[in-house]
Amino acid sequence: MVEPVPRAEVNASQAGPTSEAQALPHLRLGVLISGSGTNLQAIIDACESARLQAVEIALVVSNVAGAAGLQRALKHRLPAIYLPWREREEGERRLAALLELFRVDLVVLAGWMRILSADFLARFPRRVINLHPALLPDDPSADVYIASDGSAIPAFRGLHAVRQALEAGVRVTGSTVHYVTPAVDAGPVLCRAEVPIQEGDSEETLHERIKAVEHSLVIEAIERWRARELLELRRLSHSGGGPPQEG
Ligand code: GRF
């Protein structure tokens, strides 16, 4: 049997130079990708610099063998795994085992193109967040987001959110980081940022500008999540009320 990786507690030497960092509970991330991994790169860079202190990427998982994000992870000597996803139940069973083996606290879906089931999410309650390239409202049942200029923007959910924003002719779109729930792109919002649409934007140019904003937004989301959730997660796991462990 493979021994689980020990969950790191607050560790001053890993936490960075400031006394503020020494007070931060150490956070272990699992980052799930399917593609280029520019947001993964932003997280790597923030962990390696003073931007994100006492945060460690414990594991990177890709369901696509040739995903450029896997190469980014390997270049930085991070544990990186290709997980073939032929059938959801089997894929989720293996993914959950990996996340538990590597003692991941928070799972970040950074361009992960597979829907996760309610059963999987129940094993990691409030511990999975997703980056979505559109503005989503606070109320998950709402279909409209009111932008800072007062305009009502339809909530573009699903796979083609950037294209939908262009086709709808709205003036602003953006990105949202939200908790993942069984309803697709409809979980409680952690943070979001607006991105103006420019004359002549194509899906590619607009998505590039959205990603540029996401690279900061994802860091803000990780910090917010830690401030809100990590101590409670530690308390639950110490009292034995944490998520089930693999036998
Ligand atoms: C991001 O725009 C994210 O919002 C969406 O997928 C894209 C991933 O980009 N879910 P990258 O792989 O991080 O470059």
The verdict on the CB of residue 39 being under 6 Å from ligand 1 is yes
Pocket test for ligand 1, best of 131, 178, 217 (most atoms within 8 A of CB): 131
- Does the beta carbon of 38 lie inside 6 Å of ligand 1? yes
The atom number, within ligand 1, closest to the CA of 113 reads 10
In this prediction, residue 25 carries a pLDDT of 86
Quick: pLDDT tens for 153-173. Answer: 999 999 999 999 999 999 999
Question: Is the pLDDT confidence value at 101 over 80?
Answer: yes
Q: Can you give the three-state secondary structure of the chain, one letter per residue?
A: CCCCCCCCCCCHHHHCCCHHHHCCCCEEEEEEECCCCHHHHHHHHHHHCCCCCCEEEEEEEECCCCCHHHHHHHHCCCCEEECCCCCHHHHHHHHHHHHHHCCCCEEEECCCCCCCCHHHHHHCCCCEEEEECCCCCCCCCCCEEECCCCCEEECCCCCCHHHHHHHHCCCEEEEEEEECCCCCCCCCEEEEEEEECCCCCCHHHHHHHHHHHHHHHHHHHHHHHHHHHHHHHHHHHHCCCCCCCCC
Give the atom of ligand 1 at the shortest distance from the alpha carbon of 112.
10
* pLDDT-derived band at 240, boundaries 50, 70, 90: low
pLDDT for residue 5: 45
pLDDT digits (tens, 9 = 90+) for 5-62: 444 433 333 444 444 555 788 999 999 999 999 999 999 999 999 899 999 999 999 9
